[in-house]
Structure formats: structure tokens, C-alpha cells
Chain A
């Protein structure tokens, strides 16, 4: 199984961009000015992919994640053979089927039956092969009653289902999927996922491009993170997704931070107010960093069981580590920590003063570690406040909602707090499957 199904080597894809003038330049003007060839030459180019290399071993399910415009779909098209790389090579072994757009090429006027045949043949099947799979395709699309009606009478869901059914029954060695799982209702999505699972079992290669990161961590053996046409990270899907999420959060924070510079400098009050933060105030507060900076909080790190991390299992231990530097010795010092959920609700907040510290002073560098034995929060994204301030609440350095951590849980309960718990039943009740 060490054969590579897909080999991508140093692939660069350059798109030409024409200036406004060139866009309007027509054959006539090109002929008149006698510059047909020079006008065909673009004055600007745009690299959608800047030298990407990776391999996908046969039989693996491979995910590609990245922001919009990072080159994911371009990559997929090159692998599918629609378009050729400007530089580098793409080698794919075996029959490829691409779920890029479902039902592309359906003709609205003719029946679903004829469209299945034509679509199947476009995707590389012979007429006989389509005939052999026809019933299966129709059954999969759940369109038995409508297959002889013209496709224009189909609902968009029916249309997509039929497109998906044809494409997946091409039975390719390599299946390319571009963000198409959102086509049907819940039941159909499950069916599609089952089909993918079947593909994997049969040792076929699947390449998945999606923004549903959950799918990548759940289904993929390996993932690649594309960022602005460059492969940023390849490897274990969880690691790749986390790195990607972190980067996204980082950029978001950076933009927010920049937006907040003005507000922060204007001396917004904020702070822990010397007591536990009031939830109502907190939900109104905005992200940012402010303070008088006699004491500065440098690096903030979340450490889990296996070292620094940003994604934690519900119930995992969490340690928040702060690198702190005092620019001048201070004799009035309180450290505080707050955890907020995505709605801005404070899940927990504390500081050394509330917990009864008699005094605090600091000079030079230091480290603070705040350890939580069990992070009993429900699945979700949380923002963390860290602060160093005076007893009065006047901040030295306040990081407001600047640090993001994700709590994941296989169970999607609601609420905020997830106490360790157990169900038990007696009498005539039988509920099984709860012991995990």
C-alpha cells in the first residue's frame, strides 16, 4: 500500500489577469492596432498556487483545508485534469472522478434517465457500465418515481442528489470532492458519508476539499493546509486543522487588535475591578489589550497533557502559563484569569486577590501558571482573559478575549459547564449505549 495515488510536484498555477483596457480589447481593435499577439499577453499574472508538492498514498483519505482563495479548488481541478499546471507535474494513477459541481452538464429538457446516461459517459463510463449501475444510481438518489421526468422539473435537492449519485457510482480509483456534501437533507448527507466510508474500506483514494473541518478530523487519514497558494502544513489531520484554526483565530485577533488600538489607548476602563467580573459588563466588553504596562504579560500559553495546545478534550487538565516582565518593581500586584464562551458569557473568573492573597510584588521577569485540573466545559470555542492589575483594578496589562482555546467533546451537550456525570437506571427502564 505504499504506492502513491496522487503525486504533486512543485506545482505552480499562474492565472492571467488582464487590465480593464485589455478586457475591452476586442479582435477588431487587436487587428487594427496590429498587436494581436502582444495583446494576448497578459500584463499581470496571479499565482493561485506557488509551488505545491505533496503525495497521497493509495487508499488514504486526504483532506485539504484553507481559507477562501488559498488555491484549494485550483489544486483539485489540476488533479482532476481540468487545466494544466503552469509549472510542475501532477500524476494521478487510476480513474479519477471529481465531485466539483454536481449535475454539471445535465440538460434540463430531457429526462433524468437520459441525463444519467450522458453524465455517466461524460465521467468516463461506457454505456454498458452505466446501464449496469443504473438501478443503483437511481436508488441512491431516491428518484425512482421521477427518473423519467425532465430534469427541469426537479427540485434543486433532487438535481444535486442525482448528480452526486452518478458521480459516486463512476467507481473511481481516486475520488475528488469539493465541498459538495451540503447538498441534501441530513439523511442524504449520512448516506454520502457512508458511501465515502465504503470507498475507504475498498482501498480507494479520496481527496476532500472542505471548510467543514469536522469532516477532515473525522474522516481523513492525512490533511494538507494550503495558505495563499503555499502548502503550510501536512500531516495528522487534527494537528493540521488545529494549526489552521489557530492561524485563523490569530488573524482575526490581529485585525481586532489593530481595530482596538485606538480604543485601548484612549484608556477604556475595563479590568477586573478588584472583584469577580460582572457578566453583564463583560458581555459588552470588546477584545483588546490595554493597561499602564509597568507589568507586561508576554507569551500566553495553554498547556495540556501533551504540551502546548489549543484544543482540549472536555475534562482534560489545562494550564495557562504567562511570561511576565516588570519594567519597574511594583508592590501592588494581582493576577487574574477569565474564561468566556462564544456568546461572551463568563464561564469562570478569578484572581489572586479574590482568592485571598495578602500582598503581591514583582521585579524583573517571572512566570505565572494557572492550572485547572479538569476543564469541564462543553464543546465549543472559548476566549480567555489574562490580566495583571492593581488591587484597585487599575490594569498594568489586560488581555481581553485575546486568547482562544477550543474544547472538543464527542458528546454535543448544551450549556456551559460539563460536570463529570453518570446515568443509571433501574426498574423497567433499559437504555443502552451510554457507557463510553
Chain B
């Protein structure tokens, strides 16, 4: 397993090129091109603003203003997370020809998916920054230091799950359908379009078991809420858990590696 991880490092240039290709190919032929990476989250933000300011104006606590921006802090990383996993569930099957005919580490494919998602996430950040400045949200520089840490922890968690999901889908195609529904549930079980403080205590205990809860709350605390970053012990616990998830994901992928070329 560690030998394979090391080997993966040798393929970093390939991963880099594949991520670039992924991004280029995605918008090839569209008029706005790369702009879609900015426009997509913007449109999503508009939709949620519409829902929570026009349709359900009283659904959120009054201390979270502007609420759309609060949601945006969670939606942006969630989009990266969920789209990466959904795409990862399909990536080995879509690249089946490659796996069957060319010798190269198959884990490159789900990794590229997650990294391409990361790039999209990063392209959405300027939009977020623009709104933060526009609404004059007070940012604490000491908290912002935590931001890359949160991103990194999410990256490790997503990579681990993506590896797991991609390898399992090859054997059980139903993982794909299961996953899309699971992700919808997961979305609503994460304090993204509501604040954790709004949730009844009994449910909150449940939500606390969800690792993405702590990631979302961390993003909100660092970017949106004023006051010191109090979430860090839980964040680091999630970080440790993410490393474990990655190890498990990679282990499973490694075990199934030899069967991939046959089953795909």
C-alpha cells in the first residue's frame, strides 16, 4: 500500500495534467467557458437567496444576516464534496477502456475528480470574498489562518471517500444511485441552509456525528461569524478521522485494484 502511494507521487505530473484537461474539457464549447466556475455558485446563491428571503423570510435566526451569505459559506464546500463523490462513483466505469488497456495506477482517476472539484471550489472563492467585502463582514485574520486547514481536511476526507466509492461502484453499480440519494440526505443533515443553533438538542447530538457538520460550522465560523474560532478541537478530531477514512479508502481500493480491470 505504501509502495503504491509512493508510486502515485511519481504520477503527480500526470494528475496535474489530467486535472487541467478535466477543467479545459468541461467548458470546451460553452460560450462562457471558465466563467461557469464563477457563475455556477453565483446562480446557486441566487436560488437560495430567493427561497430564504422571498419564500421563507422568517425561517432563519435574525442574528445571521445576510443569511444568503451564511448559506454560501456552506454550499460552496458542499458542492465540491458532493459533486466529487458523484463523479468519482462513475469515473472508473467511464474510464474503463483506460483501465483495461493501459498500465497506470487507477486511483489517479478518482483523485483527479476530487482535485478538479477543488479547483472549482477555489474559483468560487473570489465570489465569496467579493460578497464578504460587500457586506462588510468583519474577518479575523487569525481565524483565516484556519481556512486552508479546513480545506485540507475536507480534501483528505473527500479523497478517502472518493477512492472507496469509485472502487465499490465497479463491483456494485447500485452504489451510484444509492449515493445520489444518500448525498441529498447528507446535505440536509448538515447545518448548511440552517444554523446548528436552530436545531433541537436531541437532533444536534445526531448531527454532531456527521463529520461534515464540523467542516461546515468551521467554514461558517472562520468566514462569517465574528468572534474567535472555537470549533478547532472538533475540527482537528475530524481531521484525524479524515486521515483514517483516507487510509481505509485507499486500503479498500488497493485490495480491489487487481479486480478492477476485469470487472470494469
A114 touches B (CB below 8 Å): yes
A: number of interface residues (CB 8 Å): 32
A370 at the interface (CB under 8 A from B): no
Instruction: Check B28 against A109 for contact (C-beta < 8 Å).
Output: yes
A123 at the interface (CB under 8 A from B): yes
User: Which of A79-87, A272-280, A352-360 lies on the face that meets chain B?
Assistant: A79-87
Residue of A15, A30, A101 contacting most chain B CB atoms (<10 Å): A101
Chain A residues near B98: list those with CB within 8 A: 104-105, 122
**Interface residues as binary, B98-118 with A (CB distance below 8 Å gives 1, 0 otherwise):** 111111100000000000000
Q: Report the bound CA distance from A109 to B17 in whole Å.
A: 14
Check A121–B17 contact: CB distance below 8 A. yes
Partner-binding segment picked from B49-57, B154-162, B172-180, B200-208: B172-180
Least Cβ–Cβ distance between A50 and chain B, in angstroms: 18
Q: B262 to chain A: which residues have CB within 8 Å?
A: 15-16, 83
* Interface contact A28-B174, CB-CB below 8 Å: yes
Complex CA gap A283/B248 in Å reads: 70
Once the chains are docked, how many angstroms separate the CA of A354 from the CA of B262? 64
Chain B residues, Cβ within 8 Å of A105: 95, 97-98, 101-102
Nearest-neighbour CB distance to chain B for A48, whole angstroms, equals: 11
A16 contacts across to B, CB distance below 8 A? 262
Bound-complex Cα distance A109 to B24 (A) = 9
Contacting A at CB under 8 A, from B66-115, are 95, 97-104
Evaluate whether A126 and B13 lie within 8 angstroms (CB atoms) in the complex, with A110-B28, A118-B21 already known.
yes
Counting CB contacts under 8 A, is B258 at the interface? Answer: yes
Instruction: Digitize A13-41: 1 where CB-to-B-CB distance is under 8 Å, 0 elsewhere.
Output: 00110000000001110100000000010
A136 to chain B, nearest CB (A): 20
Give the complex CA separation of A433 and B111 in angstroms: 60
Choice from A80, A100, A110, A122 contacting B14 with Cβ under 8 Å: A122
Contacting pair B103 A82 (CB below 8 A): yes
Chain B stretch 115-141: residues in CB contact (< 8 A) with chain A: none
* Pairs A–B under 8 Å by Cβ, sample size 17: A27-B174, A80-B103, A82-B99, A82-B102, A82-B103, A83-B262, A98-B101, A104-B102, A109-B24, A110-B21, A121-B13, A121-B14, A121-B17, A122-B14, A122-B102, A123-B104, A126-B13
With A104-B101, A122-B98 already in contact, 17 other A-B pairs whose C-beta atoms are closer than 8 Å = A27-B175, A27-B178, A82-B102, A96-B103, A101-B102, A104-B98, A104-B102, A105-B98, A107-B25, A109-B24, A110-B25, A117-B17, A118-B17, A122-B14, A123-B102, A127-B13, A150-B28
